[in-house]
Amino acid sequence: MIGASGIVGGYIVEQLVRSGQRPQALSRQPRQSAGVDWLQGDLAVPAALQVPAVKTLYCTVEIGLLAKALPQIATPSLKRVVAFTSTSIVTKINSEIPSERELLQRLADGECRLGAVCEKLGIEWTILRPTVIYAEGRDGNVSRLARLIKRFGFLPLMGSGAGLRQPVHAEDLAIGAIAAAGSSAAMNRIYAVPGGEILSYREMVGRIFDALGKARRIVSVPPLLWKIAFTLAKPLLPHTNVAMGNRMAKDMTFDASAAIRDFRWRPRGFQPRFDGKL
């Protein structure tokens, strides 16, 4: 497991341990936990890694790093690689934000490179593209919005926030990754893995209010005023940008039928429960 200390990776490790397996997990920092063999190392320096013989390799770090390292770390026992990228490759590849465009192009290129490397090495592969990933208190999407709501008691949206979303829980992604690894139908394919419910951005935010036990105080802001406000608030909210508001009106939904058919993808609906995790 590469990326085991991350949100999705951590759930994959947890699921494997729960099923009676003893996963091998890579981390750049020393770690210890029951039922897991932790290896210390950095995928960016593959020559220094001593990867044990495994049949399945899960990877949640940037796919290009895996594609570059795989020829050096693959053992003869390795039969399947399951890696993650993002549906943003489809929805944001032409983003007005240069850093986003660069990242998503790297992911798209990484998908192609991983497929080519695996074919050369005789390894089957599956790539999963999640939508908005959340894990209460741990993610930078839903939990970030929850913290803003908890801090200010309201949340502004640009316009009506009618754009459709499918937030997906990190634990469901872990379950799906393991199912995909065991499915012959999922060999050498890329899948969208959205959450189990389609809802508007506004309703998604509303349910975050509900989960926090707060009244839904959602303020619709005209586009021009939104841009002015975000310019003024940038020093206080360094990780936000005007583009986030523009996207609130855009549908970002994906068809999960292939994942449902090939590895029984069954994610939960969007009902977050923070329970003091913020």
pLDDT at 89: 96
Could you tell me the pTM of the whole model?
Answer: 0.93
Q: What is the pLDDT of residues 47-100, one digit of tens each?
A: 888 888 899 999 999 999 999 999 999 999 999 999 999 999 999 988 888 888
Q: Which of 124, 107, 92 is nearest to 62 (CA)?
A: 107
How large a percentage of the chain has pLDDT more than 70? 95
* Per-residue confidence (pLDDT) for residue 74, from 0 to 100: 94
Output DSSP code: residue 151: H
Residue 188 identity: N
Give the contacts of 276 (CB within 8 A, at least 6 positions apart). Answer: none
Q: What percentage of the chain exceeds 90 in pLDDT?
A: 77
List, for residues 185-241, the tens digit of each pLDDT value.
999 999 999 999 999 999 999 999 999 999 999 999 888 787 776 666 666 665 566
- The tens digit of pLDDT for each residue in 243-270 reads 677 788 899 999 999 999 999 999 999 9
- CATH superfamily placement of domain 1-130: NAD(P)-binding Rossmann-like Domain (3.40.50.720)
pLDDT of residue 232: 64
Distance CA 24, CA 16 (A): 10
Q: What is the mean pLDDT of the chain?
A: 93
Nearest to 175 by CA among 123, 128, 143: 128
Q: Which residue has the higher pLDDT, 1 or 237?
A: 1
pLDDT at 143: 97
- Say what the pLDDT of residue 240 is: 60
DSSP for residue 51: P
Residue-level pLDDT at 237: 60
A 10 A CB-CB count for 61 gives 20
Residue 8 has pLDDT above 90, yes or no: yes
What SS3 class is residue 84?
strand
> Any idea where the domains of the chain sit in the sequence?
1-130
**Residue closest to 23 by CA, chosen among 48, 52, 44, 46:** 52
pLDDT at 242: 60
